Amino acid sequence: MVVLSSSLPKGICFVETKGLDGETNLKQKQARPECIELVTENEMSIFNNFSKSRITCDLPNPYLYKFEGQLLLPTGEKIPLTNENLLLKGCQLRNTGHVYGIAVYTGHQTKIMENSLKGRPKKSRIELATNTYIIIIVIIQVVLCLLAALYNCVWVYVKGDSISYLGFGEATTTDSNFQLYIISFMQWFLALMNFVSISLLVTLEISKFCQGYFIEQDWLMYDISKDMCAKV
């Protein structure tokens, strides 16, 4: 928010930006002298003086030390604003009783939110490789099912009948070609379900569990001074 006034003389306030940039030293912010003259301890007077004002500033961006704007008062006076007049979300007010200000960035448009990144899930190389292999296997399975369904349609067209799978959907030449193709594709997809080795993922999890158990039981990894075993 843009500082209008504070409890200290000349509209000065001190903030700690440890939550933004890690610095623990206090930084000084200051309100514009033109704004201090319009601010009193009466909140209603502040609202009356600035309710018809307008602030023009930069679009939301992640730059913590960059801010340029302009405060247009109802009287037509234009007051330039810089980063020295801006308090960011995430900083803490220090050695200052209170401040008055006008919010310019809120919610996901604040600079701290612009700099926040989504957490990236951590996966091992084995998990990434396994997922890739499963996708390749599924693609091969689908291609084989498409070819087998096409061959089945040709067989029905030539021979006039087909072999059903588990007694479902025994196709004849009276069925439409599209319906015959879909039924045949699903039958082959069920027949080739063992292509996708879901048990491989279960085996990997069991292997990692056993490895973790052996690591925690390894007496060579025991710290006598701290009476602490290895934790997985």
Q: What is the pLDDT of residue 164?
A: 57
Q: What is the pLDDT of residue 81?
A: 92
Domain's final residue, options 92, 115, 138: 115
Q: What is the pLDDT of residue 52?
A: 83
Q: What is the pLDDT of residue 167?
A: 53
Please list the pLDDT of the chain residue by residue as tens digits (232 residues).
999 888 888 889 999 988 888 888 899 999 988 888 777 766 777 777 788 889 999 999 888 889 999 999 888 889 899 999 999 998 899 999 889 888 999 988 998 888 887 777 788 888 888 889 889 988 999 999 999 989 888 887 777 665 555 555 554 545 577 888 888 899 888 888 888 777 777 888 888 899 999 999 998 888 888 888 898 8
DSSP annotation of 59 reads P
Which residues, 6 or more positions from 94, have their beta carbon under 8 angstroms from its beta carbon? 14, 15, 16, 26
Cα–Cα nearest to 17, from 89, 101, 111: 89
202 assigned to some structural domain: no
Q: Are 129 and 111 found together in one domain?
A: no
Residue by residue, DSSP assigns 77-135 as: -EEEE-GGGB--BTBEEES-S-EEEE--S-GGGSHHHHH--PPPPP--HHHHHHHHHHH
| Whole-number Å distance between alpha carbons of 169 and 165 | 8
Q: Are 130 and 99 found together in one domain?
A: no
Q: Are 166 and 98 found together in one domain?
A: no
| Whole-number Å distance between alpha carbons of 115 and 117 | 6
Q: Quote the domain boundaries for residue 149.
A: 125-196
Q: Are 109 and 13 found together in one domain?
A: yes
Rg of the chain taking only CA atoms, in angstroms:
35
DSSP annotation of 71 reads E
Q: What are phi and psi of 14, to 5 degrees?
A: -120, 135
Q: What is the pLDDT of residue 175?
A: 57
**Hey, what are 199's tokens?**
């048990």
Q: What is the pLDDT of residue 70?
A: 92
